[in-house]
Amino acid sequence: MDRPELAEFLRHRREALTPGDVGLDAGPRRRTSGLRREEVAALTGMSTDYYTRLEQQRGPHPSEQMVIALARGLRLTLDERDHLYRLTGHHPPRRTRRTSHVSPALMRVLDRLTDSPAIVLSDLGETLAQNRLAIALLGNQQRHEGMARSAVYRWFTDPAERAGYPPEDHAHQSRIQAAALRAAMSISDDNTDARALVDDLLARSPEFAEAWERHEVRQRFDDEKTLVHPELGRIHVQCQALFTENQSQTLLVLTATPGTEDAEKLRLLGVIGTQSFAS
C-alpha cells in the first residue's frame, strides 16, 4: 500500500469533482468547487473519519470492497480504478466485458435523476446502483450476495421476489427473465458467471427449465409494466432504458403519465422515501 500516493490521488480526484457531478446541491456558502471529505464519505458509505485518515496518509489498509466503493463514489474510469487498486495493494480485476464497475457515463445520468426511480443493472440482472426513489419503490436491491445478486436468479428461487409484480404477470416475467439471460450469454465473450447461473437454475427450478427450453432471446425491459409496492399498491410505469455501448450495463428509468394516480404515487414516494407509510 502506497499511502502518500493514495492520499494525493484521492485528494485530487475529490477536488476534480463538482457537487453537480454527483447530483448534489453546491449550496450558497461553498468556497471551492470540489467535493468535501464528508460528501465523498457519504457517497462511498464510509465514515468521514475513515476517509479523512486515508487522505492524511494514516488510514488502515482498505479492503477490496472499500476500494470498489471509493472507485464508484469518486466516479473513476476503469484506468483510474485499476490505479486505485494498485495504490491500495490489491490486484486490479481482470478486465472483461462484464464488470461490477458502474459506467461513469451512466452514473452521471443517474446522479441527475432526482424525480424518477432509476437503477443501473448488469446484463445478468445485478443491481449496480440505485437512486433514492428506486430504493423507495423497489427496496435495496444491492444487499444481495452470490448468485442472488441476479434478479433472474432471485425470480426463480426466492418467492418474495415475485411480490413486486401482479400474479397475472408472473408467467410473462418468467419468460422474459429466461430470455434475457440467454441474450446475455449470446453477446458476451465470457459466460462463466452466466453459465453458472443457468446450471444452478436448471437444477433448482422446473419453471426455469421450461422457460429456458423455449430458446427465446430478448432484453428484459418492457415498454411499460405494473409494479406492486407493499404500501401503495399497484403502480403502472413506463420504462426507458439507456445501454452502454457494449450492452453490458443498462440505466433503467421508470416514469408515470403526468396527472395519473400512478404519478401521484411516485410523487408520494419522493416525499416520504423509505420511511414507513403507516407511521
DSSP-based three-state secondary structure for 238: strand
Residue 118 burial by CB count (10 A; 0-12/13-18/19+): exposed, middle or buried? Answer: buried
Q: Which residues pair with 127 in a beta bridge?
A: 121
Overall size of the chain counted in residues: 279
Average of per-residue pLDDT across 167-177: 93
Name all domains of the chain by residue range, CATH numbers in brackets.
3-87 (1.10.260.40), 104-272 (3.30.450.180)
DSSP 166-201: -GGGHHHHHHHHHHHHHHHHHH-S--HHHHHHHHHH
Residue 10 has phi, psi (to 5 degrees) of: -60, -45
Closest CA to 110 of 13, 268, 273, 250: 250
Q: How far apart are CA 39 and CA 28, in angstroms?
A: 16
List pLDDT tens digits, range 23-56.
777 677 777 668 888 888 888 888 999 999 998 9
Contacts of 239 (CB under 8 A, 6+ apart): 221, 222, 223, 224, 225, 252, 253, 254
Q: How confident is the model at residue 228 (pLDDT cuts 50, 70, 90)?
A: very high
pLDDT tens for 121-170 read: 998 999 999 999 999 999 999 899 999 999 999 999 999 999 999 999 99
CA distance 89 to 87: 6
